[in-house]
Amino acid sequence: MEIIIQPTAEAATKIAARLVAGVIREKPAAVLGLATGSTPLRLYRELVALKLDWSRLTTFNLDEYVGISPQHPQSYHSFMWDNLFRHVNVSVKNVNIPDGLANNIPAFCESYERKIFSAGGIDLQLLGIGTDGHIGFNEQTSSLASRTRIKTLTPQTRKDNAHFFGSEEQVPHHVITLGIGTILESRHCLLLAFGKKKARAIAEAVEGPITSMNPASALQLHSKVTVCLDEEAASELKLQDYYRWVFDHKPGWQKI
Ligand code: F6R
């Protein structure tokens, strides 16, 4: 894992944006795995400002709430169109977001997995992290080999996401999410985390044992993971100084 610690979320996001832009420029028909929530908002603004060519890219979103329509203001469909897709030249037919209204959820999840496979697999998977260590909506005790499926949100995650909906009661209980096994098949994972409330989850994910009690810790099994953090999210890492030294002394030929 490469751990990049920056003074602010703005600075950490700029590095993440460079990485994503590098992938898009190098492989114009790349397959991107995308996340929602507060964490990637600034990154999406940066990417829009870079005016990259999205016309040949394919995207797969990590997750969606079950039982709300794509037009619902808090659906991840709305989130993605409002914050990214509407502002870039992505082709609608290349955008994939789980269908929260699918009649047959297991069949839908299987077809989502097949679509990722047929697209050639995910080149770069963007991830945020929950305060409990979830990635996608793979909550604690999710199988580390899991595939795309329905999951039930924990009370903590519903509480954390209440601000999007106005109240906790309105946060759906169920979601469709890419599995941890699916995420681990991406060629490169980019995990972003900002703020003090993510510090514990990050420390456990990066330096703790691999455990389904912190689903992000499964990323330790992946050979190419970049973690972009601000100071606060990095504050509980034991080897902070080491990570800073490594980043500051990266040989010029090594890309981010
Ligand atoms: C969203 C997702 C979740 C979020 C996580 C953090 O697509 O996959 O894992 O990344 O819940 O959410 P924020 O960024 O709102 O703190």
Catalytic residue among 99, 113, 123, 132: 132
Least confident piece of the model among 17-21, 123-127, 250-254: 250-254
How many beta carbons lie within 10 A of that of residue 167, not counting itself?
Answer: 8
Q: Is 90 exceeded by the pLDDT of residue 98?
A: yes
pTM: 0.97
Q: What are phi and psi of 12, to 5 degrees?
A: -65, -40
List own/partner pairs for 101-108 with CB under 8 A and 24 or more apart: 101/67, 101/68, 101/69, 101/70, 102/176, 105/66, 105/149, 105/150, 105/176, 106/149, 106/150, 108/176
Closest atom of ligand 1 relative to the 40 alpha carbon: 14
Closest atom of ligand 1 relative to the 135 alpha carbon: 9
185 as an active site residue: the answer is no
* Residues 60-97: tens digit of each pLDDT: 999 999 999 999 999 999 999 999 999 999 999 999 99
In the reported structure, the alpha carbon of residue 239 is separated from the centroid of ligand 1 by a whole-number distance in angstroms of 25
Closest CA to 191 of 158, 100, 52, 180: 180
- Reported confidence tier of residue 256, pLDDT bands at 50, 70, 90: confident
**Confidence at residue 118, expressed as pLDDT on a 0 to 100 scale:** 98
Catalytic residue among 46, 113, 134, 230: 134
Q: Which of 59, 62, 228 to mutate to test the pocket of ligand 1 (most atoms within 8 A of CB)?
A: 62
Q: Is 90 exceeded by the pLDDT of residue 171?
A: yes
In the reported structure, the alpha carbon of residue 110 is separated from the centroid of ligand 1 by a whole-number distance in angstroms of 23
The residue-averaged pLDDT of 207-236 equals 98
- Reported confidence tier of residue 37, pLDDT bands at 50, 70, 90: very high
Nearest CA to ligand 1 atom 1: 36
Nearest CA to ligand 1 atom 2: 136
Q: Is 90 exceeded by the pLDDT of residue 255?
A: no
* Residues 114-170: tens digit of each pLDDT: 999 999 999 999 999 999 999 999 999 999 999 999 999 999 999 999 999 999 999
Say how far apart CA 81 and CA 46 lie, in whole Å: 15
- Reported confidence tier of residue 42, pLDDT bands at 50, 70, 90: very high
132 as an active site residue: the answer is yes
